[in-house]
Structure 1
């Protein structure tokens, strides 16, 4: 069975230059596309995720939650960031339910534990149950409790790498689609790089730049590096422009769009 993990990027679903500002028209468009794809293909199995955008990135930077806490202020900050992340996810879930797309929010911090900013324990039985019932699990970047530092943050890109690895080990075929407000990964001349592989990535690193807006989880470079890790395990990923209606359907059909991160050069 194939499972497609689709991330709705924070820069797409929020205005990252205006704190706590969602983009409802874009969210409605994306959910409409996802609903049609899910209804039209009874064999389509999805896991959804969303970035933090102008919600949790703002508070995470303020409290430096990624690096943990040792004070009461830092502990409160971790709670604030965790709540901010959940708020944005709830906006997306509300739209899905409104359009009768069966999604179920899974709180990553309730299923994962870290030690020194690395995953130390996880529980995925709920994910398996939802997939078997054809209910779409919906995750999001979250504050993860850390037995060493108090807290850290796992971005949705990191979560998808962890989830993708787990599901592949369970025997599923996995694909990743990252939906943003950009055409794909750009080269130094501003042209879309159609394909990246583990072999070609080193020569392209300099082309990856950080977002101008606040992103405490590493921006495009970390996104691609997480996909490269999956590519080494045989998982293909797409980075596509979600502002263009129809791009999600194109990627779901495995046609060329945006940037593909592959295990080997396609011929």
Structure 2
């Protein structure tokens, strides 16, 4: 069973401090992944279950990727041809990737990097090509591939951002993933977007149409050049399998086979 897991950038970094890892939260995530691969229950929040064998991890940009991309005016649609900008954004993401890999390796997870800049591209119509043969082979050889949001070549634009959510969607389809999870800083998609009412908001159990939740999917309070929660929901609705959005407290439960948080399920699923 192939599982694609995204660790949100706001989960593993401190959103209010540029290029700063949230060490304790990243440690919790790495511990949960390690326990799940051995069949254990992680941090105690999800019980025990069968070991997760074929696992692909994607992490977002958080306070590393997003501020650098914003500084150079680069989004998923607007690009740059300035090599300094490419290196600044990609360099920030590979630095974060090294931190994520180090924490996973410290927990005994055989994690290895896969950098999208070296493999993916968009054509002039913005259609994405992301080869995944190396990811499949790494899985077959017992590794845990770790990808990340990045900049990629884009015909007519120089380079643009490839978001972690786009990567999750591509991997899930091409690898025939049976489980897809997005670990966020909130316990699921909330039924309120007003900052003053978030504490009283409830988690929406299931979403099958973007129109049903469009009114409550607003912007983020941190710099995000990849679409925020709305972008996540749109990408996940297009998948052929249901997906889950949940917080770090529920990561072990997801890896144990449960569906915590919000289930994203398109009408055809």
Provide TM-score, normalisation by structure 2: 0.88
Task: Specify which of 212, 215, 239 is matched with residue 245 of structure 2.
Answer: 239
- SS of equivalent residue, structure 1 residue 214: coil
Q: Report the counterpart of residue 29 of structure 1 in structure 2.
A: 28
Query: Is 2:147 aligned against 1:147?
Result: no
Query: Is 2:265 aligned against 1:262?
Result: yes
Please tell me whether the aligned partners of residues 49 and 140 of structure 1 are also in contact (alpha carbons under 8 angstroms): yes
Question: CA–CA distance in 2 between the matches of 1:101 and 1:107?
Answer: 18
Query: Is 2:73 aligned against 1:64?
Result: yes
Q: Report the counterpart of residue 12 of structure 1 in structure 2.
A: 11
Question: CA–CA distance in 1 between the matches of 2:223 and 2:130?
Answer: 28
Query: Is 2:106 aligned against 1:98?
Result: yes
Q: Report the counterpart of residue 117 of structure 2 in structure 1.
A: 109
1:65–1:117 distance in 2 versus 1, CA, 3 Å: farther
Q: Report the counterpart of residue 253 of structure 1 in structure 2.
A: 256
1:222–1:117 distance in 2 versus 1, CA, 3 Å: farther
1:122–1:9 distance in 2 versus 1, CA, 3 Å: closer
1:87–1:119 distance in 2 versus 1, CA, 3 Å: farther
Please tell me whether the aligned partners of residues 47 and 136 of structure 1 are also in contact (alpha carbons under 8 angstroms): yes
Shift of 1:255: 2.6
Count of residue pairs brought into register by the alignment = 250
- Deviations, residues 44-82 of structure 1 (Å, cap 9, x unaligned): 310001110000100100101221124xxx331121001
Query: Is 2:95 aligned against 1:87?
Result: yes
Please tell me whether the aligned partners of residues 244 and 263 of structure 2 are also in contact (alpha carbons under 8 angstroms): yes
Please tell me whether the aligned partners of residues 36 and 51 of structure 2 are also in contact (alpha carbons under 8 angstroms): no
- Deviations, residues 117-164 of structure 1 (Å, cap 9, x unaligned): 724543322111111112111000000011221001110100111111
Q: Report the counterpart of residue 75 of structure 1 in structure 2.
A: 83
1:35–1:164 distance in 2 versus 1, CA, 3 Å: same
Q: Report the counterpart of residue 176 of structure 1 in structure 2.
A: 180
Task: Specify which of 195, 207, 214 is matched with residue 196 of structure 1.
Answer: 207
- SS of equivalent residue, structure 1 residue 238: strand
Task: Specify which of 148, 161, 168 is matched with residue 169 of structure 2.
Answer: 161
RMSD across aligned positions (CA): 1.8
Question: CA–CA distance in 1 between the matches of 2:38 and 2:125?
Answer: 39
Question: CA–CA distance in 1 between the matches of 2:10 and 2:182?
Answer: 12
- SS of equivalent residue, structure 1 residue 16: coil
Shift of 1:105: 0.6
Structure 2 residues not aligned, in runs of 5+: 40-49
Structure 1 residues not aligned, in runs of 5+: none
- Deviations, residues 77-123 of structure 1 (Å, cap 9, x unaligned): 12100110111111000111112111111001111111247245433
